[in-house]
Amino acid sequence: MSQILVTGANGFVGASLCRLLANNGHDVIALQRRESEPVEDVTPWLHAQPDFAGIDASWPSGRRPDCVVHLAARVHVMNDEAPDPLAAFRATNVDGTLRLARAAHDHGVARFVYVSSVKAVAESDHGVPLAEDAPARPEDPYGVSKHEAEEALWAFQRETGMEIVIVRPPLVYGPGVGANFLRMMQAVAKGLPLPLGAAHARRSLVYVENLAHALMRCATDVRAANTCFHVADDDPPDVAQLLRALGRHLGRPARLVSIPMGLLRAVGVLTGRQSVVDRLTSGLQLDASRIQRTLDWRPPCTTDEGLEATVRWFRSANR
């Protein structure tokens, strides 16, 4: 049994990870900025200051976790209203991450698992699944901040010897999902026509429970030390396949209209939604073979099982 501290513990991924860790006998400390529904067998730790200011001084007395899994972040949002988005992302995702890592090291934590993002590397695979050593070409402030945090942590590892593990997931889905994935389900459930029948570029996804299992392995397996891993479901669908699968589980076939991708991209440019269209029409597959080879890990759930669970939650929440 390990003692594991999880930041962002009341978030979408954090809550799943805390439950999984507790159910597997680990001693879990849930670091969060606000009160939330407690998870059984998980110790809450409230730290309300932004960007982990004062985290060293407020460290719980006598607590020396074996590992920190760092999920808390300023996440990617559409139409960011911050005066300087990159500065805002850096304050949380770079400076805050290093502040937490230094406090963890000073309190005897041996390993720091950082949950980054595929956006730290690229927005498109250009026809070749992205491996962990692909050249980093982030395209927005969120991706830049995640890449810079990764680089800062590797420098910190060289300085201190603390074990660092970087995990880069693609789009995460599952019960409780929000943002674009939720909007896709809503559109399919309402029977709205969607101009994506010809969207055949494959994009990697990861079911939230699959990601939680991978993070647990990265926190506890000695072979994970000082390694970067891509984590994704097996057999990524294209967007049209994904929408059809959602329709099948919803009991309402997706109404897909086949529009040439060039025309769809032109409409995206004219309507100011080019970034949204690009994400729906360009491929973004991850090569996740390293974690399979190194840690003998495979996703415990198939994509179809994950979609079924997600739709079951969606239908229950919208009765």
Residue 14: which domain range? 3-174+205-234+284-301
* Sequential DSSP letters for 134-145: SPP---SHHHHH
Q: Give φ, ψ of 271 to 5 degrees.
A: -95, 0
Q: Name the residue among 167, 38, 152 with its Cα closest to residue 93.
A: 152
Which amino acids are annotated catalytic?
Answer: 142
Whether residue 309 lies inside any domain: the answer is: no
Interatomic CA distance for residues 62 and 179, integer angstroms? 39
Residues 6+ apart with CB under 8 A from 317: none
| Residue 165 confidence (pLDDT) | 98
Whether residue 74 lies inside any domain: the answer is: yes
Tens-binned pLDDT, residue by residue, of the chain (319 aa): 789 999 999 889 999 999 999 999 999 999 887 776 667 778 888 887 888 899 988 888 777 899 999 999 988 665 566 778 889 999 999 999 999 999 999 999 999 999 999 999 998 888 899 999 999 999 899 999 999 999 999 999 999 999 999 999 999 999 999 888 999 899 999 999 988 887 788 999 999 999 999 999 999 999 999 999 999 999 899 989 999 999 999 999 999 888 777 776 766 666 666 666 667 777 899 999 999 999 999 999 999 999 999 999 999 988 7
Whether residue 252 lies inside any domain: the answer is: no
**Cα dihedral 218, 222, 227, 232 sign:** negative
| Residue 32 confidence (pLDDT) | 83
| Residue 271 confidence (pLDDT) | 67
Q: Name the residue among 213, 233, 232 with its Cα closest to residue 69.
A: 213
Domain count, the chain: 1
Q: Name the residue among 169, 121, 164, 161 with its Cα closest to residue 142.
A: 121
Whether residue 221 lies inside any domain: the answer is: yes
Whether residue 297 lies inside any domain: the answer is: yes
Interatomic CA distance for residues 319 and 309, integer angstroms? 16
Whether residue 193 lies inside any domain: the answer is: no
| Residue 317 confidence (pLDDT) | 84
- The full length of the chain comes to 319
CATH of the domain at 103: 3.40.50.720
Whether residue 73 lies inside any domain: the answer is: yes
